[in-house]
């Protein structure tokens, strides 16, 4: 697929059939993400993969609970998450979390670039994807 065609035709998918994604394909998508540019070539990212529709549905409930405890209730995201029937991951069978390895200012942007590379690679493989942004979690 031509890059410009991929940029024009990629879109967010918010309803999945739950079919498993082969691990070799997930590995290929992560390798594509790791090719993204980063400030000073620091590559400040790590990737976590969660597989299985049932596992993601349970994780969705945990994410909703955490977010509702930490977001101001009048925000659009909090109102959206308050719907108990909303599956944060839209019924997907696989989730790739792009994590910044440090608190450097540029790391968030670098991880966004890696995420976009992953989304475009998924589209090129005929897979649907949806960017789900989240706030930084400090441990």
* Per-domain residue ranges of the chain: 1-46+96-129, 53-92
- Ranges of the chain with pLDDT below 70: 84, 134-139
Looking at residue 130, its pLDDT comes to 95
User: For the CA atoms of the chain, what is the radius of gyration?
Assistant: 16
Sign, CA torsion 53/94/67/137: positive
What is the structure's pLDDT at 135? 59
Q: Which two structure tokens, joined as six digits, stand for 40?
A: 């000073």
Residue 18: predicted pLDDT: 87
Fold adopted by 1-46+96-129: NADH Oxidase (3.40.109)
Q: Please say whether the beta carbons of 124 and 9 come within 8 A.
A: no
pTM (2 decimals)? Answer: 0.88
Q: What is the pLDDT of residue 74?
A: 85
pLDDT attached to residue 139: 46
DSSP 31: H
Alpha helices by DSSP H, listed for the chain, are 3-9, 23-34, 53-70, 76-81, 105-124
């Amino acid at each position: 697929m031509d890059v410009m065609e991929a940029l024009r035709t990629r879109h967010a998918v918010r309803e999945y059939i739950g079919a498993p994604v082969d691990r070799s394909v997930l590995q290929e998508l992560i390798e594509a993400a790791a090719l993204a540019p980063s400030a000073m070539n620091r590559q400040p990212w790590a990737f976590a993969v969660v597989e299985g529709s049932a596992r993601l549905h349970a994780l969705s409930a945990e994410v909703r609970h955490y977010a509702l405890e930490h977001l101001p209730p009048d925000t659009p995201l909090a109102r959206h998450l308050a719907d108990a029937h909303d599956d944060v991951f839209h019924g997907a069978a696989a989730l790739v979390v792009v994590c910044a390895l440090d608190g450097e200012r540029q790391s968030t942007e670098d991880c966004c670039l890696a995420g976009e590379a992953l989304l475009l690679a998924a589209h090129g493989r005929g897979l649907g994807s949806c960017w789900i942004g989240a706030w930084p979690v400090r441990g």
